[in-house]
Amino acid sequence: MRRKQVANPSHQQKLMLTVNPERILANPRV
What are the structural domain ranges in the chain? 1-30
Is the separation of the CB atoms in 22 and 11 below 8 Å? no
Q: Mean pLDDT of all residues in the chain?
A: 62
Distance CA 8, CA 16 (A): 12
The pLDDT of residue 25: 67
Residue 22 pLDDT greater than 60, yes or no: yes
Q: State the average pLDDT over residues 10-21.
A: 64
* Whole-number Cα distances in Å, 8 to 2, 3: 10, 8
The string of pLDDT tens digits covering residues 2-15 is: 555 555 667 666 66
What is the rounded end-to-end Cα distance, in angstroms, of the chain?
Answer: 13
The pLDDT of residue 10: 72
pTM check: above 0.85: no
